[in-house]
Structure 1
């Protein structure tokens, strides 16, 4: 059974463990580099600050008693658009519904905040992630994301509508809107 834990800044060691694993395992999937979060960048206060982004949601997926995935939802200047960031699932847990569950929990959070769409940036060559996002109701946009380290290519921006009429085929989100959110930060969502 997949459990989703909502993290607080006090849970920074768990977030740190997963984030470093993500940056090591999939270095080309993120705008951050492993080196940015090691050495002088590997400070408790920095990890706490990352989990203290105002009005954000930071999740860890637990499978078989161990953390195997992570995702965050963060506000944007546009209150109707919220961002999904820092999404990663350990290779051993891929294909078991962990990514779907994390995406849908962030979508539910965005919906509950009054959001109309959830946005994310994905690397153009990350076919596995794009497949997950497409399955979850995201569609590529014409909007360009940040430049990649090569200075030529850019991240691709994907959007997922959150309004029931706009996303009526996305059953996972609408299942979640019928089941009230369990827990507050630091609790577990079964």
Structure 2
């Protein structure tokens, strides 16, 4: 069974555990590196600050009660865009719907925000499993590349219009009347 939980800055230890595992297991998938988040970078205030980005929402997926993955929604480059970042699912939880549930959680949250009409993400070139997951969930490659990372790599930018954003903000009674 998949359960979703919203993380706050007080949940920094569980998020730290999963983020370090993600950076160790899939260094090719992220712009950040494990080395940047270890040593001097491994500080409680830094982890809390990451979970406390103003206007963000961070999700933890539990599979059969065990932490299985994370995803975050943060303000995007424009006020009508939310970015999906830090998406990762533990290897043993893959293929069981955890990634889909995390994406849907960020999408529902983004659709409920005023003036947000699109969800955007960046995915590393060659990360075919992630590309398939995002495509299956309605994202399309835009043809734009993200900013150059320190090592010169650039990510593909993908987007999903939230045409149902207004619908998600309507009270339940109003939605049922329209159906």
- 1:61 maps to 61
Q: What is the deviation of 1:65?
A: 1.2
Q: Provide the rounded CA distance (Å) in 2 between the counterparts of 1:144 and 1:100.
A: 24
Alignment of 1:16-165 (within 5 A): 16-114=16-114, 115-151=116-152, 153-164=153-164
Point out where structure 1 has 5 or more consecutive residues left out of the alignment: 166-173, 181-190
Runs of 4+ residues over 6 Å off in structure 1: 176-180
Q: Contact 1:76/1:82 (CA < 8 Å) preserved in 2?
A: yes
Q: Contact 1:108/1:177 (CA < 8 Å) preserved in 2?
A: no
- 2:175 maps to none
Check 1:64–1:7 CA distance in 2 against 1; reply closer, same or farther (3 A cut): same
Q: What is the deviation of 1:164?
A: 3.1
- 1:170 maps to none
Could you tell me the TM-score, scaled by structure 1's length? 0.84
Q: What is the deviation of 1:38?
A: 0.4
Structure 1 stretch displaced more, 11-20 or 76-85: 76-85
Point out where structure 2 has 5 or more consecutive residues left out of the alignment: 173-179
What SS does structure 1 have at the residue aligned with 2:83? strand
Q: Contact 1:139/1:160 (CA < 8 Å) preserved in 2?
A: yes
- 1:168 maps to none
- Cα deviations across residues 33-87 of structure 1 (Å, max 9, x unaligned)? 0000001100000000000100100010001111010000001241111100000
Q: Provide the rounded CA distance (Å) in 2 between the counterparts of 1:5 and 1:178.
A: 23
Could you tell me the TM-score, scaled by structure 2's length? 0.89
Q: Provide the rounded CA distance (Å) in 1 between the counterparts of 2:77 and 2:27.
A: 28
Taking CA–CA contacts closer than 8 Å with sequence separation of 6 or more, which of the two structures ends up with the larger relative contact order? 1
What SS does structure 2 have at the residue aligned with 1:120? strand
Q: Provide the rounded CA distance (Å) in 2 between the counterparts of 1:164 and 1:102.
A: 18
Superposition RMSD in Å: 2.0
Aligned length: 170
